[in-house]
Amino acid sequence: MATYQHGVYNQEQATSLTTPIRSSAALQVIFGTAPVHLADDPTKAANTPKLCYSFAECQAAVGYSDDFKNFTLCQSIDANFRVFNNAPIILVNVLDPGNSKHTKNNEEEDCAVANGQAVYTKPYVLLDTLVVKKDTTPLVAETDYTAAHDDDGNVVITLISETAKEAESLSVSSTSLNPTGVTKEDVVGGVDTETGKETGLELVRQIYPKLGLVPGLLLAPGWSHDPVVAAALQAKTGKINGNFDCNTYLDIAADSTGATVYTAVKTAKEKLGASSSHAAVFWPKGAVGEKIYCLSAMAAAETAATDAANGDVPHESPSNKDLKITATVLDDGTEVALDQEQANLLNGQGVITAINANGFKLWGNNTAAYPSTTDPKDRWLAVRRFFDWDGNNFIPTYFQKVDKPGNKRLIQSIVDSQNIIGNGYVARDYCAGYRLEFKEDENPITDLLDGKLTTHTYLAPYIPAEKIVNIREYDTAALEAALTGGGE
C-alpha cells in the first residue's frame, strides 16, 4: 500500500553516465617452465595462473633461477621486476612435479657430514621427496634434520637431533625436476576429457573469471619460436571468454633452426607462421651482461613500462624506447650488430628488432600481419593494441546494462557515457578522434525484436611517426645577399 505523502520530497536516479572500468593494457600472461622446487608449495605451482605484484611473490609462487634456458618464465620475472619494475604479471608454469615425464628419480648416494651438515649436489631436488638415512635407519625431517636449497642449487642437510649428529655420512635419495621433459605439447596444453582440468594455454580462459583481469599480452619466451606454440598463441588472442581480444609477442629462433643472419629472417618468419594482426614477432635475442633474454620478454616488459608512463593507455608505440639491454645476440651469445638500414629491412618484413642508437632501442612498429595487410588497425602495433584495449574496456563498463529495458534512456546513457570517455582520450591526445553512435540502419526491427542493440564506434588512434623527412635545398638567394648585399 502506497504511503500517503504531503509536502516536498527528493528522490534519486542512477547516474546515466557510467564510470569506466579499465583493464590493464599490457597485462602479461606468460607461459613456460619455472624452478618450482624452490617455490613455497611445488605441488600447487603447476598449471595454475599466478598473479604476482613483486619479485618476492614470483619466488614464492613458482621459484626463481637465472637459468633461463631450463626455466623460461624466469627471464620475464627478471625483465619485469629487476629491469623495468613492472607489475603485475601472471605466470603459468607447466613444469609439473606430478607428471612423471617432468621428474626423475635419483638413486641413493652417500654424502659426507662436516660440522653437522651434509651437502647433496643433485640439481632441482624436490625437498619433500628426500629420503635421508643414517646407516640404514631413516631420519625424520624437522626432527632429525632440516633441508634447504643453497644459492648454488644444492641441498644443505643440517642435522639437529643428537642421534643424527653422530653420523659421519648420510645415505640420500630423492626426486628431481626434469625440465628437459617438458614439451611444446605441455605449453600448448589441453583439456582432460574426464576431469575437465585445463593445462597450458587453455588456462587463458581462467584469467578473467578467476582474477577479474583481462589479458593484454600472451607470451611464451623460450617456446614461441616453435610453429606449434606460435599458432596456439595467435589463436588464443581472439575472443577470450567469448568477447575479449589481446595480443601475443613471438620470437624467431636465433639459431640454425630460425635465423642466424638478418637476411634469413623473412624465411624464418614464414616458417614460424607468424601472420596475425594480433601478433608481433621479434628477432634476435637481447643480453644484459651474461644473461640472455628472448626479445619478446624484454619487449613485453618495455611495452608495459611505456603504457604505465602513459596512464595505462596503449596509444604510444614501444618502438624507439630504451630496451635496457647491452647487446643483441644469437642463442649461443654471438653478438649481432644490426645497423638502422638492416633493422629497417626487418621492419619491412613485419619483424621488430633492436638497434644501438646511443643505447639499445626497440625498433619497429608493424604487427606480424605486415606486409600482407596495410589496414592501419591491423598493420600498426600501437593502433591494434589501442583498438583491443578500448574494446575490452567497453565490455565490463557496460556489462551492467545487459538485460535492462532496451529503451531510449538506456541507449542514450551508453552513447553519452562512451562519448565522454572518448572526448577525454581526444583531449589528452591519445587519439585524433573518437565518437560512438547508435545508427538506425544498423539496428533493424528484426534485431531489436531479438533483443540486440548495436552501437558504432569511430576511433582514430595516432599512427606512429615512423618517417620524419627534412627537405633540404641550397639557398642561392642567401648566398647572393651575403656576398653582394642583395644585388645592389
What CATH number does the domain containing 284 carry?
3.40.50
Q: What is the pLDDT of residue 486?
A: 61
240 and 174 in a single domain? The answer is no
| Inter-CA distances, 338 with 197, 283, 352, 363, 399, Å | 45, 11, 12, 11, 48
What order of strands is seen across the sheet that includes strand 169-177?
137-138, 131-134, 169-177, 103-114, 117-120, 155-159, 145-149
420 and 343 in a single domain? The answer is no
Whether 15 is covered by a domain: the verdict is no
Please say which residue of 180, 197, 221 terminates a domain.
180
152 and 217 in a single domain? The answer is no
Whether 1 is covered by a domain: the verdict is no
pLDDT in tens, the chain (488 residues): 556 666 666 666 655 555 555 458 899 999 999 999 999 999 999 999 999 999 999 999 999 999 999 999 999 999 999 999 899 999 999 999 999 999 999 999 999 999 999 999 999 999 999 999 999 999 999 999 999 999 899 999 999 999 899 899 999 999 999 999 999 999 999 999 999 999 999 999 999 999 999 999 999 999 999 999 999 999 999 999 999 999 999 999 999 999 999 999 999 999 999 999 999 999 999 999 999 999 999 999 999 999 999 999 999 999 999 999 999 999 999 999 999 999 999 999 999 999 999 999 999 999 999 999 999 999 999 999 999 999 999 999 999 999 999 999 999 999 999 999 999 999 999 999 999 999 999 999 999 999 999 999 999 999 999 999 999 999 999 999 999 986 55
**Which residues share a beta bridge with 459?**
434
85 and 199 in a single domain? The answer is yes
| Inter-CA distances, 221 with 76, 133, 207, 275, 363, Å | 8, 41, 19, 18, 19
171 and 212 in a single domain? The answer is no
221 and 330 in a single domain? The answer is yes
191 and 91 in a single domain? The answer is yes
Do 94 and 62 touch, CB atoms closer than 8 A? no
Whether 86 is covered by a domain: the verdict is yes
Q: What is the pLDDT of residue 25?
A: 87
- Range of the structural domain that residue 326 is part of: 28-95+182-381
59 and 205 in a single domain? The answer is yes
The three three-digit cell numbers of residue 160, written as one number: 639437529
Whether 223 is covered by a domain: the verdict is yes
Q: What is the pLDDT of residue 27?
A: 96
234 and 345 in a single domain? The answer is yes
Q: What is the pLDDT of residue 20?
A: 58
334-339: long-range contacts, CB 8 A cutoff, minimum separation 24: 334/260, 336/254, 336/262, 336/284, 338/262
Please say which residue of 131, 164, 180 terminates a domain.
180
Whether 237 is covered by a domain: the verdict is yes
Buried-state track 127-138, b at ≥16 Cβ within 10 A, e below 16: eebbebbbeeee
Whether 459 is covered by a domain: the verdict is yes
Q: What is the pLDDT of residue 15?
A: 59
285 and 360 in a single domain? The answer is yes
199 and 305 in a single domain? The answer is yes
147 and 271 in a single domain? The answer is no
Amino acid at site 245: D
Whether 397 is covered by a domain: the verdict is no
Please say which residue of 129, 163, 180 terminates a domain.
180
Do 92 and 203 touch, CB atoms closer than 8 A? yes
The three three-digit cell numbers of residue 444, written as one number: 533493424
Question: What is the number of domains present in the chain?
Answer: 3
Whether 402 is covered by a domain: the verdict is no
Q: What is the pLDDT of residue 24?
A: 80
Buried-state track 76-103, b at ≥16 Cβ within 10 A, e below 16: bbbbbbebbebbbbbbbbbbbbebeebb
Q: What is the pLDDT of residue 12?
A: 67
